[in-house]
Amino acid sequence: MIVLKFGGSSISNETRINEVIKIILSIKEKKVVVFSAIYGTTNCLYNICYLKNKEDIAQAKLDIEKLHKYYVNFTNKLFANHEKKYVVIKFIENIFNEIESVILKSALKLTLNTINEIVAYGEILSTNIIHQYLLSKNIDNVLLNALDFMQLNKEREPDVLTSKEKLTSIFSNYNNSDIFITQGFICRDSENNIDNLGRGGSDYSASIIGSILNAKEIQIWTDVDGIYNNDPRYIKETHPLHQLNFEEAAELAYFGAKVLHPASILPAKNANIPVIVKNTLNPSSNGTIITNSPPNEGIKAIAAKDNITMIQILSYRMLLAYGFLHAIFEIFNKYKTPIDMITTSEVAVSVTIDKTDFLEPIIHELNKIAQTTIHSNQTIIAIVGYIPKNKPGYLFQITNALKDIPINMIAYGGSDYNISLLVDSKYKINALEKLNNHLFHFNAYSNIYVQS
């Protein structure tokens, strides 16, 4: 069993869908193919919901009509004159009638549950179109509804045991089928409402399905040749990495490498299933293989995470006191706000967050026990690889490369796989360039060869 996931850009037009089908047919084993919504659809559906709740019904109506027309034109072009086209057109008509009844005909504001239902139509549309398109080419396939098996628990984490029980039962009905199509991203919560796994959640879906089915491998197909050693949007001299281990890949995914959803690593890691990141537009490229294999020592990649806020917390009561950090963490826990980086001194703590929804009440509560200073527009630069703490020279290489750039925080020692720096976002590109030049070449003034 192979699990493949294709993102929205991989199915954005007729040419790309046909390339996807070639990839699917090239794999002779049983396969589950997980699809995202067609590129741009999820954003559009979220915006329609936003317009509805803002009571801009006229614009919402225009956006619904535009998206409906897009899907009809997309289907006409994809199917040409094949009779399956009319099946799909009718299905699209029904979906948009549902959307219109909720958005245009109801006077009530949308709840989160209703928004999740509307947004789920993106994946439902893409998978039904591809299912019927395969049938039009006489390619037998089974369409599985992710809402029938993908389950969350009360903490809104994947309920793997329940999902496994449901999916295994569904699979038992199709012993003679080789191609299964299903949706990424969408699921049901513990109360059976339609929910989702968050932005980029189709990777997560693929990893969960792969772990449930004990897949041979999980393939994540996107529009780049793998995970790069630096951000190719800003740095010219970059290259895809041939191999990473799960710890390295998880650090890169969390700290800004957009190719892979951070949460998608864990199910595959726990099940010891290789994940391969490949390019739909260049299927012959090797891509990046992620495994549990012991890593080679050295720095492999750099990633940057934007929209970071640093909070400096100062209290002289902290000196020689216990429980102060606990009190701080309790405040962030209360507002379900994760901390990315933390540094401490005898009388101060600095933390970074990327979720600022509850920044105001967090600061209000922190000010009861300390003085706080907020610095926005920050970027975390993560230097990732296998960087053992007992090996000297790595931190020197990094700070020496950035000797002309102010560094606001350094997190080093918590992991052998990441050294993180915080800089003002205005220095981001300069920092990425300097690190790229210094770290991915042999430095004559150092006895360390930094791997790429």
Tell me the HSE value of 382 on the side-chain side, using a 13 A CA sphere. 27
> Rounded mean pLDDT of 396-423?
94
pLDDT per residue as tens digits for the range 197-246: 988 899 999 999 999 999 999 999 998 899 999 998 899 889 999 999 99
Read off the pLDDT band of 447 (50, 70, 90): very low
- Report which listed range, 25-34, 260-269, 289-298, 382-391, is most confident: 25-34
**pLDDT band, very low/low/confident/very high, at 318 (cuts 50, 70, 90):** low
Question: How much is the mean pLDDT over the chain?
Answer: 92
Question: Does residue 421 register a pLDDT over 90?
Answer: yes
Residue 384 backbone phi and psi in degrees, to 5: -120, 140
Stretch among 13-22, 136-145, 312-321, 369-378 having the lowest mean pLDDT: 312-321
Residue 35 has a CB neighbour count (10 Å cut-off) of 30
Q: Report, as an integer, the average pLDDT of 70-76.
A: 97
Q: Going along 274-426, which residue ranges are E strands?
A: 275-279, 288-291, 298-314, 342-344, 348-353, 371-386, 409-411, 418-424
The tens digit of pLDDT for each residue in 74-123 reads: 999 999 989 999 999 999 999 999 999 999 988 889 999 999 999 999 99
Which is more confident, 102 or 441? 102
The β-bridge relationship of strands 342-344 and 348-353 is antiparallel
> Which of 264, 135, 260, 289 has the alpha carbon at shortest distance from 211?
264
Q: What pLDDT does 347 receive?
A: 81
Q: Band of the pLDDT at 444, cuts 50, 70, 90?
A: very low
- The domains found in the chain, sorted by start residue, are 2-222 (3.40.1160.10), 300-439 (3.30.2130.10)
The reported pLDDT for the residue numbered 237 is 87
Structure confidence at residue 443 as a pLDDT band (50, 70, 90): very low
